[in-house]
Copies of this chain bind each other. A is one copy, B any other.
Amino acid sequence: MVELLFWLDIFGIIVFSFSGALMAGRYKLDPFGVVVLASVTAIGGGTIRDVILQTPVFWLEKTYYLYVVLATALLTIVLIREPKRIPKRFLLIADALGLALFAVLGTQKSLDLGAATPVAIVLGTITGVAGGMIRDVLCNVIPMILRQEIYALAAMLGGGLFVLLEYLAWSESHALIVSISAALLLRLAAIYWHVSLPAFHIPDSEDTK
């Protein structure tokens, strides 16, 4: 069980680092800039979660997280060094994977540390979305969460489903896998078919400058 948690977590770090490095490639950053953008994307969400929970920040003691980010960023540069055209979808899919993994894993860790159910779901959502948010804000791009396709819903659904399955006394590994898959599928479907929920829209009024 602990092993499954560990590998899912590492996998989340890898996919988010990859998404940060890909984004860096659009902005023509040097290798050190790529490492910085990969880092904030991969460890930003979990750092904010741990700081809010006032529990030791995960990468302070487990420094291997930093090496995983570094290795992923450098490998991305090396493997994609030829200016081949990378489908934009790669970034979206890597981001969706990270979102689903971290939303559920963040909820699990928060529950483990004694957070109440709604707090755990909120902290899970923060873990899943904050890293990508910082990546996008730094690049002066409107964060994915603020563009119509199902994004916040996928994160909240992942965490919420995990809480429900735990409550129904599923084994933790099954609960993890099912809720991560559900969040991922929902987000991928939204990307693929451009599905979105009805939007809340206030048209600009006359007195808008």
B-contacting residues of A (Cβ < 8 Å)? 21-22, 24-37, 39, 47, 51-54, 56-57, 59-61, 63, 66-67, 77, 80-81, 83, 85-89, 115-116, 118-119, 122, 125, 129, 133, 137-143, 145-146, 148, 150-153, 156, 196-209
Q: This chain: how many copies in the complex?
A: 3
Q: Which residue of B lies closest to A156 (CB)?
A: B32
Given contact pairs A36-B129, A140-B141, enumerate 13 new A-B contacts (beta carbons under 8 Å).
A28-B199, A29-B199, A30-B148, A32-B156, A36-B125, A37-B146, A60-B119, A61-B116, A67-B118, A85-B202, A87-B207, A88-B207, A89-B207
Return the 4 tightest CB-CB contacts between A and B, nearest first: A25-B202, A30-B197, A85-B205, A32-B152
- Give the distance in Å from the alpha carbon of A74 to the alpha carbon of B68 in the complex: 40
